[in-house]
Amino acid sequence: MATSILNGGPADTLAETALEFPDNFLLIDLCGQHDRHLAQIEEALSVQILRRGNRLSVMGEPASRQAAAQALRALYARLEAGREVGPADVDRELRMNGGPGESTDARKAESQPELFKEDGRRIEIQTRKKLVEPRTDAQKAYVRALFDNELAFGIGPAGTGKTYLAVAVGVSMFLSGNVDKILLSRPAVEAGEKLGYLPGDMKEKVDPYMQPLYDALNDFLPGKQVQKMMEEKVIEIAPLAFMRGRTLSNSFVVLDEAQNATSMQMKMFLTRLGEGSRMVITGDRTQVDLPRGVQSGLQDAERLLKHIPKISFNYFTAKDVVRHPLVAAIIEAYDRDAER
């Protein structure tokens, strides 16, 4: 367990927070190769971190020092628990600690499936291949909503984890026996290229549109298991048009890229919800590929369903992007241009 000592200076801004870590081997992992984890914290919080033996000294503004110290303690506790620490884990702790001036949410979820755990600030989703942890407060609220509501919407820009986390929750609920199958769907809308010009039969034509869903599944389940489950129709990945006429019971259902569903398609999809099922709709209102003049079903659903109890709407911004940092900067640049 890390201990902290506050060394005062002539002014509070000159003070440093010193953290002692008893296990030097864990401290090496905490710092990262060539101290890259410390550099990541320094850049994010505008602090300076010096290592002296088994002590890390954090210097900077009081709020920044506090946020850095909290992140370092949390990462060290993770190592003490026998888990690895990488750049993504550092990024998550920085976001969940909120940085200077922001608060964190320490509420507990009351009813949670066995494979969903919440401990203070941390939420964990257990899948077959990895443990998945939300990296921002918005992601954490979204995951909680997926477990608490039979119908949930995740709306925001690319790279915010909407689909990834939804598929992770679906896999978790399947493994825990809460649902019998997983169904993933997208509208096969042409974004500049024509489906008819692609080679192969219909499945081969639409598979490129479904690839992000395959990628997410393969992140959580062994490849052979995914293939077997698809052969047995326990997992289905299909274009939205294939949903017509079906009733989806005891299933975890995800509609991805929902901004490209028409209003009629969205109504058709939402009314497929059957007994014992969960449904998640994800989309980005800024990336509609529908023909000019065609209303997005996602916008219609948001307008019509927002005040219905037990339907959750979770929103993401560029601050929740967990891909390359440049992705957030790119999204913000386009958003500023759109506001002009």
Question: pLDDT tens-digit profile of 284-298?
Answer: 998 898 888 899 999
Say which residue, 309 or 328, is predicted with more confidence. Answer: 309
**Where does a domain end: 97, 131, 158?**
97
* Same-domain check for residues 156 and 50: no
Residue 102 lies in a domain: no
Q: How far is CA 65 from CA 6, 30, 61, 135, in A?
A: 10, 17, 6, 20
pLDDT for residue 96 is more than 80: no
Same domain for 130 and 217?
yes
Residue 60: inside a domain: yes
Question: For residue 225, what are the domain limits?
Answer: 116-339
Is 220 within the bounds of a domain?
Answer: yes
Q: Tell me, what DSSP letter sits at residue 172? A: H
Task: Tell me the three state secondary structure of residue 217.
Answer: helix
203 in the same domain as 309: yes
Which residues is 262 bridged to in the sheet?
A: 296
Which CATH number covers residue 13? 3.30.1370.10
User: Is the Cβ–Cβ distance between 183 and 251 less than 8 Å?
Assistant: yes
Structural domain contains residue 195: yes
Instruction: Confirm whether 54 is domain-assigned.
Output: yes
Among 68, 97, 126, residue at a domain's last position: 97
**Could you tell me if 241 and 325 lie in one domain?**
yes
Q: Which residue has the higher pLDDT, 97 or 187?
A: 187
Q: What is the mean pLDDT of residues 213-222?
A: 90
> Do 239 and 140 have their domain in common?
yes
| Burial status of residue 214 (CB atoms within 10 A of its CB: 0-12, 13-18, 19 or more) | middle
Please give the order of strands across the beta sheet that includes 122-126: 116-119, 122-126, 131-132
Same domain, 83 and 126: no
Single-letter amino acid, residue 123: I
Q: 236 with 293, same domain? A: yes
Let me know if residue 217 belongs to a domain.
Answer: yes
205 shares a domain with 84: no
What would the two tokens of residue 200 be?
């192969």
Instruction: Give the closest residue to 96 by CA, choosing from 106, 85, 108.
Output: 106
| Residue 59, domain member (yes or no) | yes
Per-residue model confidence (pLDDT) at position 170: 94
pLDDT for the residue numbered 201: 54
**Per-residue pLDDT reduced to its tens digit, 315-324:** 999 888 876 6
pTM of the model: 0.68
Report how many domains make up the chain. Answer: 2
Q: Are 15 and 50 in contact (CB under 8 A)?
A: no
Confidence of residue 115 (pLDDT cuts 50, 70, 90): very low
Same domain, 62 and 133: no
Secondary structure (3-state) at 262: strand
311-315 vs 151-155, strand pairing mode: parallel
